[in-house]
Amino acid sequence: MSLLSVEKLTVAFPGQVAVRETSFAIAPGETLALVGESGCGKSVTAFSVMRLLPPNARVASGRILLEGTDLLALSPAGMREVRGKQISLIQQEPMTSLNPVLSIGLQIAEVLRRHEKVSRKQARARAIELLDLVSIPDAHRRIDDYPHNLSGGMRQRVMIAMAVACHPKLLIADEPTTALDVTTQAQVLDLLDDLRHRLGMAVLLITHDLGVVAQWADRISVMYAGRIVEQAGIKPFFAEPLHPYSRGLLGARVDVEADEHYSRNRLSEIPGSVGSALGEAGCSFAPRCPIAVPGCRIAPPPLVAHGERAVACPRVGA
Amino acid sequence: MTVDAELTPKVADVGSRAAPRKGRRLRAFLRNPTFIAGVAILGFFVLLALFADMLFPGDPMDMVAQPLLWPGDDAQYPLGTDSLGRDVLAQLVHGTRASLLVGFFAAAIGLAIGMAVGAAAGFFGGWTDTLLMRLVELFQTTPTFLLVIVILVIVDPSLPTIAMAIGVSSWPTVARLVRAQFRSLREADFVMAARSLGYSRLRIIVQEILPNALPPVIVAASVMIANAILTEAGLSFLNMRDPNVLSWGGMIGDGRDQLRNAWFLTALPGAAIAMAVLSLNLVGDGLNEILNPRSDQS
């Protein structure tokens, strides 16, 4: 049975729909990458799983099942028991995600004291272990540091320590490395991957960086304009993307070895913008699609299974 | 799931790191001359209030010498005596108590109400905010001093009721300040992080947001105490006071009949009030500089 399964989730903001009938599942211990460009609904999907949507957004339909329990049907108090204990969240911006007036040790210890019956002293000892676990050197001295004493990468490590403190089953990482430089990014992702194996958690990795996906994810779900257009394992996906949008995304990557450079030839791109999907009755990618046929503009194509993977494009594999 | 077991041996000596940081904070305070001057003057008054009974034993309201001695006339009464022959210096020292007490308690009451209302309005927004802010505006449209007087006409003036009246009429400023802080801080990433860890709203308000909202409130608090002392002085001058308690305002009120022939009876307590208020304002300015994150060099 899958750990988390999102079924036909639709999230609406006033005047627009951010996520449409999105379904996906995560198996225990698996890393699923949710990929797409800005504004395609990746973060909204993640925040709906935590039930932390902005107040003007609402889940219009669908179910979010965590080991069979519908999170959307839980009481607010019941949901608070899930957050931080069963599902944790790592945010994009480590510089502002820690409370500036509390020491990091206190912040980690508080999570433990919130969800587990531990004394102050035990919580502090566990906080040191956790800092050690996320490879912060000199953990027993660092524990009394304040966030402003730490670099961005260190802060993200502290955030990870807080997120995994109570051994959650699922960790949602919302672009965890966007704000970090490339070397730190690799370290943080390696750490996440290592923790996932050691703690047996599943990870929902939200990113727009296909390099990150290729290296650290097991499966990928490509989102476009609020819909998942392709789901596949990492190897088959990078070997042969099926959906024209996925192909466009992979095609837009610059291959340095093939001597591609903007000064020599035009880099490949996907024509148009996400905005062109507005008011589209059919496939939201149709206006930008190189292989669209008139039939694409009538109704949105469903996600159809093709062996292990699934694609929402009638022109694929027929 | 064996992280704990793996890492338990690494729990080594803990602590011994907080000390240097506190030292740095302290130095930031000591480097600020405004703050030091304010604290010195305020500290002087606090000491006077604490040791008034030792410095001037006996009832300061006792008639001890001939009335209207000028300062310097009699070495035993260096600041002279009032129209009833009471020692002005003893009265001044004992009056410090009432003035400071009223100041601190009024500010405490004002802060408590203001912070609760502001936090609720700023955090929850929507209807709660609209409702509470209309209440704040209702209070703000009424002149503070008038409101205090009205309250003291209803209840008998005594130190606690005076402090309560001043506190009740001075909270709207704090409420607005705290509300503004909460409105911006509730959107902060660390608040989202706290929610994602399963903390309740009360806990987020008290533990996550409130400490971050405090710096401007602390600054405002020192000015509130100063205002409360001034208001208390004004009330005493208008005879809305506890007749059994000495205060600086009361001394000014008593002395105004002798304004032409013994002006020092009003000038001396007036100077004391000015000094106390000045010291609190200096403390407020100093705190503002020290607590302002943009001026933080540490």
What would you report as the CA-atom Rg of chain A, rounded to the nearest whole angstrom? 21
Confidence check: pLDDT of B90 > 90: no
Please give the sequence-ordered ranges of beta strands (E in DSSP) within chain A, or none if there are none.
Answer: 4-13, 16-26, 31-35, 58-66, 69-70, 87-90, 170-174, 202-207, 219-224, 227-233, 304-306, 309-311
Q: Could you give the residue range(s) of every CATH 3.40.50.300 domain in chain A?
A: 4-217
| Percentage of the residues of chain B whose pLDDT score is greater than 70 | 89
Supply the pLDDT for residue A169. Answer: 93
In chain A, residues 229-288 whose CB comes closer than 8 Å to chain B: none
A143 contact residues in B (CB cutoff 8 A) = 14, 17
Supply the pLDDT for residue B16. Answer: 35
CA B53 – CA B198 distance, rounded (Å): 54
Supply the pLDDT for residue B23. Answer: 55
Q: A128 and B208: CB-CB below 8 Å?
A: no
Q: How confident is the model at residue B2 (pLDDT cuts 50, 70, 90)?
A: very low
Confidence check: pLDDT of B298 > 60: no
B190 contact residues in A (CB cutoff 8 A) = 96-100
The tens digit of pLDDT for each residue in A188-220 reads 899 999 999 999 999 999 998 888 898 899 999
Nearest chain B residue to A149, by CA: B298
CATH superfamily of B80-295: MetI-like (1.10.3720.10)
Q: Is the separation of the CB atoms in A133 and A192 below 8 Å? A: no
What CA dihedral angle connects B55, B61, B66 and B70, to 10 degrees?
60
Supply the pLDDT for residue B252. Answer: 87
CA B219 – CA B217 distance, rounded (Å): 5
Q: B12 and A140: CB-CB below 8 Å?
A: yes
Q: B207 and A80: CB-CB below 8 Å?
A: no
| Percentage of the residues of chain B whose pLDDT score is greater than 90 | 36
Supply the pLDDT for residue B22. Answer: 52
With H, G, I as helix, E, B as strand and everything else as coil, classify residue A38.
coil
Supply the pLDDT for residue B236. Answer: 85
Residue of A290 and B78 predicted with greater confidence: A290
Residue of B5 and A196 predicted with greater confidence: A196
Q: B1 and A200: CB-CB below 8 Å?
A: yes
Count of positions (residues) in chain B: 298
Nearest chain B residue to A79, by CA: B198
Q: B197 and A99: CB-CB below 8 Å?
A: no
DSSP tag of A169: S
ipTM metric: 0.85
CATH superfamily of A4-217: P-loop containing nucleotide triphosphate hydrolases (3.40.50.300)
Backbone angles phi, psi at A255, to 5 degrees: -95, 105
Residue of B63 and A122 predicted with greater confidence: A122
Supply the pLDDT for residue B199. Answer: 92
Instruction: Considering only the beta carbons, identify the residue of B10, B197, B212 that sits closest to A84.
Output: B197
Instruction: Report residue B279 as tokens.
Output: 């010291």
The tens digit of pLDDT for each residue in B210-230 reads 988 988 898 889 889 989 989
First to last CA, chain B: 40
Supply the pLDDT for residue B108. Answer: 94
Q: Is the pTM of this model over 0.90?
A: no
In angstroms, what separates the C-alpha of B123 from chain A's closest C-alpha?
13
Q: B7 and A159: CB-CB below 8 Å?
A: no
Half-sphere exposure of A304 (CA within 13 A, CB side): 13
Supply the pLDDT for residue B183. Answer: 93
CA B165 – CA B163 distance, rounded (Å): 6
Beta-carbon pairs below 8 A across chains A and B: 97
In chain A, residues 172-231 whose CB comes closer than 8 Å to chain B: 198-200
Confidence check: pLDDT of B14 > 50: no
- Is A66 an 8 Å CB contact of chain B? no
CA A238 – CA A242 distance, rounded (Å): 10
Supply the pLDDT for residue A101. Answer: 87
Cβ-count burial B105-132 (b if 16+ within 10 Å, e if not): bbbbbbbebbbbbbbbbbbeeeeebeeb
Supply the pLDDT for residue A115. Answer: 92
B18 contact residues in A (CB cutoff 8 A) = 144
The tens digit of pLDDT for each residue in B148-196 reads 999 999 988 888 899 999 999 999 999 999 999 999 999 899 999 999 9
Supply the pLDDT for residue B17. Answer: 38
pLDDT (average), residues B47-66: 81
The tens digit of pLDDT for each residue in B262-284 reads 888 889 999 999 999 999 999 88
pLDDT (average), residues B226-250: 86
Confidence check: pLDDT of B29 > 90: no
Instruction: List chain A residues with pLDDT less than 50.
Output: none
